[in-house]
Amino acid sequence: MANPPLQPVRGTRDLIGEDFRGHHHVVGTARRILALYGHEEWATPIFESTAVFARSLGETSDVVSKEMYSFEDRGGDSITLRPEGTAGVCRALVSNGLTQANLPRKVFYAGPMFRYERPQKGRYRQFHQIGAEVLGAAEPLADAEVIAAGWHILQELGISEGVVLEINTLGDAESRDAYRAALLEHFTAHQAALSPDSQVRLAKNPMRILDSKDEGDRAIVATAPTIQPFLTAAAAGFFDAVLRHLDTLGVPTRQNPRIVRGLDYYSHTAFEFVTDRLGAQGTVMAGGRYDGLVAEMGGPATPSVGWAAGVERLSMLLAAAPAAPRPVAVIPVGEAQEAAALGLLQDLRRAGLVAEIAYKGNLKRRMERANRLSARAALILGEDELAAGQVQLRDLDAGSQATIPLAEAVSRLGA
């Protein structure tokens, strides 16, 4: 009996055809725009020691408490498939001895991330992120600039319409201590009604409850105090400066005091670019300031700020994936013209044109193949024309045909 066809693992997907092209377009656009802002691309490993994430993201975060793909490798080390990119970038900054020279350092990354989540539209177990980090900058202008770069990418992709930047501050340590006490009081008063997960959070990290997705929790969160009255003058001043710079840089903002972000390493600025065009999975780009993360990795205090965006969600917002390139089909009429056809084929490719030749078949079959590939033109090499140094150029959209000098074929097709 034949083997049953194998399926991809739940929550993973193959990127093929327009899915791949949309993905590639999002990553390529981010790479190009971030280069304009001085970001250099880094590629860090897809797996890291579990400690890289467990230490930094916070043990009560959803990611660490229930979403990590962790396993023991054959040598007995605890390994985790990266659930996000920032921890690895900070680890790399420290591991490569880059914590002193040339700060601030602006980094871009792109690649797959892994989280054990319930798969649904816009939520996968292997998904992809692009991310931007500004490492070693304590100034509010760094926050505003990296956010402006994100906005620029959304605009360049043509998807900024209907996307809103929601922004908040998590203050400094002093603001947060005061706020945490107020939250503890609020949530303790509603303790019995909290979800089991949030009961645990209440004991360990009450701020984490603000990020809960549980319906019952959301109602209790709605009446919780916001951080604003607990901000120190310095923290409030920092936030004002970020907002002012964003305004100057032309990025529209909407303050949302409920934004806390899911990971423990954030302080001061926290933000999300959200849309209502993707149903429940409406956050397309999110980030904030993380002043303590590099120190968690064993480096010196290195205030930093950045964001990550889900490539699948950005792709879904694209009006259309970029079209596949349309080839030029080179068609020898018989075997005797094949060598000349191959020569012309390579000349076209060397000139930067997409060109194809069918591996077999008569003229009719080869024309059919050209049509199936949506070829824009065919170059037909017949015996008489070749003897005269000529070739037939057929425009497959217009249906028109002309006999042209072989030597002009490449330039006539646009190279």
Where along the sequence are the contacts to ligand ATP (CB under 6 A)?
Answer: 84, 115, 117, 122-124, 127, 129, 262, 281, 283-284, 286, 308-310, 312-313
HSE, CB side, 13 Å, CA atoms: give it for residue 175. Answer: 21
What are phi and psi for residue 138, nearest 5 degrees?
Answer: -95, -5
Could you tell me the smallest distance in angstroms from the CB atom of residue 122 to ligand ATP?
Answer: 6
Torsion angle of the four alpha carbons 379, 383, 388, 391, in this order, in degrees rounded to the nearest 10: -10
Could you tell me the smallest distance in angstroms from the CB atom of residue 328 to ligand ATP?
Answer: 38
> Comparing C-alpha atoms, which of 266, 309, 244, 295 is closest to residue 136?
295
Q: Which is nearer to ligand ATP, 124 or 230 (CB)?
A: 124
Q: Which is nearer to ligand ATP, 127 or 239 (CB)?
A: 127
Residue 123, classified by CB atoms within 10 Å of its CB into exposed (0-12), middle (13-18) or buried (19+), is: middle
Q: Which is nearer to ligand ATP, 284 or 328 (CB)?
A: 284
Could you tell me the smallest distance in angstroms from the CB atom of residue 111 to ligand ATP?
Answer: 12
Could you tell me the smallest distance in angstroms from the CB atom of residue 157 to ligand ATP?
Answer: 14
Could you tell me the smallest distance in angstroms from the CB atom of residue 308 to ligand ATP?
Answer: 4
Q: Which residue has the tokens 């005091």?
A: 257
The DSSP call for residue 292 is: S
Q: Which is nearer to ligand ATP, 26 or 396 (CB)?
A: 26
Q: How far apart are CA 297 and CA 90, in angstroms?
A: 7
Could you tell me the smallest distance in angstroms from the CB atom of residue 138 to ligand ATP?
Answer: 22
Could you tell me the smallest distance in angstroms from the CB atom of residue 284 to ligand ATP?
Answer: 5
HSE, CB side, 13 Å, CA atoms: give it for residue 143. Answer: 30
Q: Which is nearer to ligand ATP, 19 or 117 (CB)?
A: 117
Q: Which is nearer to ligand ATP, 251 or 309 (CB)?
A: 309
What are phi and psi for residue 412, nearest 5 degrees?
Answer: -65, -25
Q: Which is nearer to ligand ATP, 120 or 362 (CB)?
A: 120
Angle, CA of 40, 322 and 23, to the nearest 5°: 45
Q: How far is CA 332 from the centre of its chain?
A: 44
Strands 69-72, 163-169: pairing is unpaired
What are phi and psi for residue 17, nearest 5 degrees?
Answer: 60, -130
Give me the amino acid identity at 179.
Answer: Y
Residue nearest to ligand ATP (CB): 310
